[in-house]
Amino acid sequence: MQQSRIDLKKLRLQIALQYGIELDETTLTILAILLQEGKHLFTPMHTKLAEMAEQMQQSKKTLQVDPDHPRWQAFWHGMGQWGLGLCLAIIALLVVFSITLSNDKKQQDMQQALVWYKEHYEAAQKLIDKAGAGTGTTGKKSRQRNK
């Protein structure tokens, strides 16, 4: 393995500019060796990290997230998860409510019709009684025949 020559002047200037510390030659040499070892050890990690980042980007593409409308996509995904059952439950409740409402309306109409017929029946009976009272026995005879 070929070693690159360490540029101590350049390293000294970088340390002095970045940290404001002046180092001697021995410290600079140790620092340079540690930096080379670190680069040598971290290079495979960086390549694996880059591969994992690429795999994440590929998996993101398989999800097919719409970058222009992510909220709509999330809404329709949620509708697929819970929406169908919720819609069916609401429709069932509306059907039951409308049936109950129509039955109540029919019952109310029937009650009104019964009251109307009862009033007309009573009014007709009063008219018959008045007509029968004016003529005397003819009203009674006709009622007796009907029985």
pLDDT tens digits, 89-134: 999 999 999 999 999 999 999 999 999 999 999 999 999 998 877 6
- pLDDT the model gives residue 97: 96
Percent of the chain beyond pLDDT 70? Answer: 85
Does residue 96 fall inside a structural domain? yes
Which range (14-28, 40-54, 70-84, 89-103) has the least confidence? Answer: 70-84
| Residues 92 and 53 placed together within one structural domain of the fold | no
What's the whole-model pTM score? 0.37
Does residue 97 fall inside a structural domain? yes
User: Please, are residues 74 and 82 in contact by the beta-carbon 8 Å criterion?
Assistant: no
| Residues 84 and 60 placed together within one structural domain of the fold | no
| Residues 84 and 50 placed together within one structural domain of the fold | no
**Structural domain containing residue 46:** 1-64
- The count of domains in the chain is 2
Q: Bin 118: left if φ > 0, else alpha if -120 < ψ < 50, else beta.
A: alpha
| Residues 17 and 52 placed together within one structural domain of the fold | yes
- pLDDT the model gives residue 145: 58
